[in-house]
Structure 1
């Protein structure tokens, strides 16, 4: 009895696997992406259109990073966590958090540079009819 039930389970499992394998193979073959065409422009018009949204996003991130210790995601809050870990004697935690803090501080520099670059883009867009010319 046990052998018969075990054999039936194996047959059902093999049938299900065969069906799934056939379906999966066909789905993969059908969903393979075709090669994308090479770009014909530099995307200036789209960038000019999105510049205000990008500027707001950058400003929001800078505001969050420069906020006080009561704001999640701020440098001050992460600095407080580093200090707390050091005072509690959790050196591994403090090291991990310090590395995150170092990156977060470098992010401010990067975002400020992007903000300056975006200001140049906005000037260019204004002078060039929103990138249409």
Structure 2
């Protein structure tokens, strides 16, 4: 004979309560990190080896981003293209679109000095990696 809905619901509730009660102590212990687990997650250095390993790819990515940002109005993602879109939105009278695109333009312009500084920093890192024999 099949159990009715009330019996099935009661069995389900008892099973759920049992699962929650059995998981309770394990969860309480998991909230306190053990000394061994926290020691495994602590860094064991400054990551210089990995930075030197990934240096060529990082340099290429930053260079590509700067090339894209400094491109003319035909380059997707360039500042000039976004400036053109802002001007078109303004001339069409789309104030909300103009505001949105202008905020994106402000952010995109702020990327230039950041990426330029990173590119300069990576030149120094490249020199250091070459001196260490890591490159």
Q: Same fold (TM over 0.5)?
A: yes
TM-score by length of 1: 0.73
Number of matched pairs: 123
**Structure 2 counterpart SS, 1:106:** helix
Higher relative contact order (CA 8 A, sep 6+): 1
Matched, 1:61 2:65: yes
Q: CA deviation at 1:127?
A: 1.4
Matched, 1:127 2:113: no
Q: Residue 4 of structure 1 corresponds to which residue in structure 2?
A: none
Which deviations, in whole Å up to 9, do the C-alpha atoms of 1:19-38 show, x marking residues without a partner? 9xx7xxx9xx8xxxx65521
Q: Residue 115 of structure 2 corresponds to which residue in structure 1?
A: 111
TM-score by length of 2: 0.72
**Structure 2 counterpart SS, 1:121:** helix
Consecutive aligned runs of 4 or more in structure 1 exceeding 6 Å deviation: none
**Structure 2 counterpart SS, 1:130:** coil
**Paired residue for 1:88, among 77, 85, 92?**
92
Counterparts of residues 1-133 of structure 1 (less than 5 Å): 36-130=40-134
- 5+ residue gaps in structure 2? 28-36
- 5+ residue gaps in structure 1? 1-6
